[in-house]
Structure formats: C-alpha cells, structure tokens
Structure 1
C-alpha cells in the first residue's frame, strides 16, 4: 500500500495513467511521511542515506530475508529498538488481525525492494515533501535541470478523477495527519469525485488482512467502484 499509493499519486500529479483509469482507490495512502511514528521506520529513515546504505549493505537490492539485511535488522532490534512485535513496530497497533493472517503475512512478507527505494522513502520522511529522488546537486542538474529534485504537485491531480481514500486512526506509516495533508492538496477536487473513508481503530495492516476489512472497508470500496 505504501509504495503503490505513492507511485499512483506521483503519476496522477504528472498526468500519467489518468487516461487509462476510470477511478482509483487508495488504502492507507502515503504521500507524506512527516508524522510517521513507527519506531523502526523512523530509525531506518534516519539511517538510509545513500552513503550509509552503500557502505553498510553494499547491494542494490534491499532484501529483508537476505542474510546481510537480516543481520542489519537484528542489530537494530537488539540496539535502539524492541522488535519483538515486528509487524506492529512498523504498521501501528492493528486491531483486527488473527494468528493465521499474521502467520501468512510473515510467510511471504516483507518482499525485496531496491535499496534506492528505501533511500527515497527516507528522503520523503526527512524532507517532509513528496519529491523525485534526490541525487547529488551535480546529478540533479543533469537529470532535472535544477540542483534540488522537483516536488510532485499533488494539487495537479485531475479534479474529475474519482478517488476513494481510506485511512486509519492507528496507522503509524500513513499517519492521519499526513493523510490530512494529502486531503488538503485535494481540497479543490470535484466533491462528487472524492470519497473519504476514515476508520478510527484501523492500522496499516488491517486494511489488507483485518478480519473485519470486508465489512469495514471493502463493501464501501466496491460501492465506490460500482458508482464509477
């Protein structure tokens, strides 16, 4: 959800994909990370700068199940963080998961991603805005024609694009304050094209694995798609 919604919002802001979609649903959307409160997320956001990652991990792929990354996570979990409840250490206090859903999640997740993606997310947290990847000033000039990376203007998302935005009050990744910043960017969106759905007790993982997600989230989501 984190990476998917970020990619979607950045694409919409640049006019991409919008001609291929009738509508879009964003669950626990991430555009801003300034209020992220997950301890492991904050630690990694402060640690994941290009030089540190290159020296520490030395790989282009960040694979949480690889030995070198596993050792890295073990180090921080026995150092500044208590990762006994690893999932909740980065998703928030999920209200509605059961043992089987957590077991299935940990069997397949977390999946590998590029190290640059991790660095970009860290930049988003530290800078407080959603911008393109920040290289060196020299490289930024080559790629963007300016010394700093361009900021995605989310207010440029077409106002007529039907959007379903669902977020939770206990989410440590997509904090409700950050979602409010996104909704402020969408304040001029056509009123009948923006559906905002807030679930007070839900954290990040509840939206995909919560035992009540069908009734609490997906019935409303399907109704939105039916209308659009």
Structure 2
C-alpha cells in the first residue's frame, strides 16, 4: 500500500467521534473509572480469531492480515457476492428517487411464486452486508429459506448511493440530507420498486436502529405509504429515544455538543465524505490487532454482555463500517433526545423560514397506522429499553412490544439465539399482518 493511501485512510478518524466519542476512544486504551469490561484478566484464554472467516469476505486482490499494526489495503466483497458466498441467488437494482439520487436495492430471489415481500433496512453507517455476516443464521437468509421475498435496502450517501442524475459527491448539495430525506424520498422509492417487481400490493419492513427513524419519518410525512406497508418490525428502534438521559455519561455530555457544532458548520464536500467505505480501515486493523481492547471499548458503547463469537465478527464488521452518510445526518441523529422525535433543526431563524416555528416540528406519529412490533435490548446502550414506553405511546398501532433480556445493540444482528428470540417472532408479525390483510379483502380480490 502506498504511503499516501495510508494517510488518506486517516481521514476516516472523524468517524470515531460518532461511533466512539472522544471519551470512548480513551476507553479503548485505558480503563476509566472501571467502565471497561475487564477482558484482560483472561489474557491466557485463546481468542477465537479466524483468518479463514476474514478471508471469506475478501476479494482476491486483498491482502489479509493476521498480525501487525499496519496491514495493507483490502477489498471486501459486496452484497451480491456475499449472498453468493452463502449460496443465495441475488439480484441488484438501481432505483432513482424523486429528487434524483440513484440508490441500490438488493433481492434474494424468492423460492416460490407470490412470496410476501420483506424489506430489511440497516442502521446508521451500516450496509446490507452487516445483515449477512453469518450465513444461515442471518435474518435475510432465514426469511428467504422460510419462503419470503427478501429485499435489502440502501440509502443516499452510502456505499450504494453515491450517484445522482445531476450532482456528484464533490457537490455540497449532494450531502444536504439526513434520515429525513432517507424517509421522505429513499424509502418510498424502494417500496414502489419492490411492489412493481414483485406484483404484491404491500411490503413488510424490518428495520434496525436508524432504519426505524427512516421508516417512521416516511410513514409520518407520507401517510399514503401506510397503504403500501403490511407490517413494521423495529429492532433497537432509534427514533423516540432518551439517549442523552440514559446513554451519555458526564464526559460524553461534554464531548457531543462540540461534535454537533463541528458537523453543523462543516459544509465542505471533502469533509462530508469522511464517512465513506475505505480499503484501509483503522477500526478493522485495530480490532484484529488488539481484539480484547477493541471489544472492551465497543462493548461500552453498544452495551454488555456479549458473546465470544464477537471476536471473530468484529474485524469483518469494522471492514464494512462506516459505509457512508452525511454530516447533516450525524447532526440529526445526535439531536434526538428526551423522547422528542423531531425534524432537522436549522436554528431559530432557519426553522422559522422553513417550518414557520422556532423549533423543528415533531413527526406526527399518529399517522403511522401500520401494525407495529418493537424489540428492545435490555442492555442496549444506544437505544435504552427505557425508551420503549415513549415509543409505544407515540404509535397508534403497536401489536407487540418486547424487551429481549441480555441483548445489546449489536446482538440484534449477530447473537447466537436470534432465531429463537427474534426471527421467529418477526415471522409471526409478518404472517399475522398478512392474515389480517387477507381477511379484510373483498371476495375475489387479489
């Protein structure tokens, strides 16, 4: 790898301020106030690092690393290649939004005709591959094997959404979006395309983390899409949350406002693009070279406990994350607090000009009529379980709400028991809504 490429990779480090704030970065090195999980006390225990597992996700031109601090670059497989690796036939589509962004949409070819379509939405800085790390244990593959028509969504600004009919990523206007635009433009474009290709009249949505803010903002601001969504299952739903009350300890409360101001005034397209996927990712490097310390710090961010299999998964996950976003989206995500699910805050003058009010309006969640199931992790630091009551009260059609004991934010994707405690209930959610919808159709209707 060229020296210039090495230094180029460190433009990624502002990402640390969103994934692991300054205090958490220090926690990667030093146990502050005993908050870190003490894995080093078990230093003699062999770590389940798996070079072959890592290599499964690498393209042939990659240089896999097994030791050392400064590995060479790598090229990770993309969604269709990962599906092929797991024995799943996949299709890729390009979808153009109403405002001109071109985003990718992936499909696992259904195993039977007239299968119920299910759209899976990833979280903040994630990608479809973060839902495809384990093969037959992963929710998309579980659903496909159960006979559903599975689709994997992406958003503007991500690795699969870097083109536009008029703009390029060098244009500041390209990056003028947050999850609001994901919900208002990207998700409707995906839903309409899925219904067009599948011939179905509705699609079920399963969303993780920020995917919930996208889903709810869509259904709240474009209520006609309630007629196109059969059911919605929210996993670790980052929307109506009390993040600052339950997640941020005192040091982080001091750091986050500075970071919000930094991204608020950062309108340079070069600096907006620090969140993109790179062929050299210091996070992946660190998690391979120092797995105990990496997992200690990240666990403090996501929540504990976690499983031994995380050691194997973390370098691969970090190779895919971040996968693209905008500074404006970071600012909008960090602004959600105290159960206030609001539109983007442009400041007093900007809000008056845009909304006619001093503060950004709350999303009208009474518009969300879709049968909704909410799943929270009991030890999730990102979306605390204490937020469940706020979100359940805000939505008019919650048919299931559950706190999963022992689950942190990442467990929804990689825990060993997802099939029993999560996937099976999600299948029940979809089939229940399908049966209700079918029973309401007039005789002879499709």
TM-score bin, normalised by smaller chain: 0.7 to 0.9
* 97-106 vs 144-153, which moves further: 97-106
- Tell me which of 424, 428, 440 is aligned to 1:219: 424
1 or 2 for the larger relative contact order (CA 8 Å, sep ≥6)?
1
Query: Are 1:152 and 2:359 counterparts?
Result: no
Query: Are 1:121 and 2:330 counterparts?
Result: no
Aligned to 1:208: 413
* 217-226 vs 137-146, which moves further: 137-146
Q: Sort the Cα spacing of 1:54 and 1:225 in 2 relative to 1 into closer, same or farther, 3 A.
A: closer
Q: Sort the Cα spacing of 1:93 and 1:197 in 2 relative to 1 into closer, same or farther, 3 A.
A: same
Aligned to 1:8: 215
- Alignment partners' CA distance in 1, 2:411 and 2:352: 42
1:49-74 deviation line (CA, Å, top 9, x unaligned): 24x236679522351777xx97xxxx
| Contact 2:220–2:368 (CA under 8 A) maintained in structure 1 | yes
1:152-206 deviation line (CA, Å, top 9, x unaligned): 1323322xx21121111000011011122111223x53xxx61122211101100
Aligned to 1:21: 229
Alpha-carbon shift at residue 108 of structure 1 (Å): 1.1
Alpha-carbon shift at residue 148 of structure 1 (Å): 1.5
Structure 1 residues 56-95: aligned runs within 5 Å:
59-63=271-275, 85-95=296-306
Q: Sort the Cα spacing of 1:128 and 1:225 in 2 relative to 1 into closer, same or farther, 3 A.
A: closer
Q: Sort the Cα spacing of 1:164 and 1:96 in 2 relative to 1 into closer, same or farther, 3 A.
A: farther
- Tell me which of 104, 107, 116 is aligned to 2:319: 107
Aligned to 1:137: 348
* Corresponding pairs, count: 209
Alpha-carbon shift at residue 9 of structure 1 (Å): 1.6
- Alignment partners' CA distance in 1, 2:353 and 2:406: 46
Aligned to 2:392: 183
* Contiguous gaps of at least 5 residues in structure 2: 1-207, 283-292, 434-446
1:54-95 deviation line (CA, Å, top 9, x unaligned): 6679522351777xx97xxxxxxxxxxx97634223211143
- Runs (4+) of structure 1 exceeding 6 A deviation are none
Alpha-carbon shift at residue 130 of structure 1 (Å): 1.0
Question: TM-score, normalized by length of structure 2?
Answer: 0.42
Query: What secondary structure, in the 3-state scheme, does the structure 2 residue paired with 1:35 have?
Result: helix
- Alignment partners' CA distance in 1, 2:255 and 2:294: 13
Query: What secondary structure, in the 3-state scheme, does the structure 1 residue paired with 2:425 have?
Result: helix
Alpha-carbon shift at residue 128 of structure 1 (Å): 4.6
Aligned to 1:173: 382
- Give the RMSD, CA atoms, in angstroms: 3.1
- Alignment partners' CA distance in 1, 2:253 and 2:423: 30
Structure of greater Rg? 2
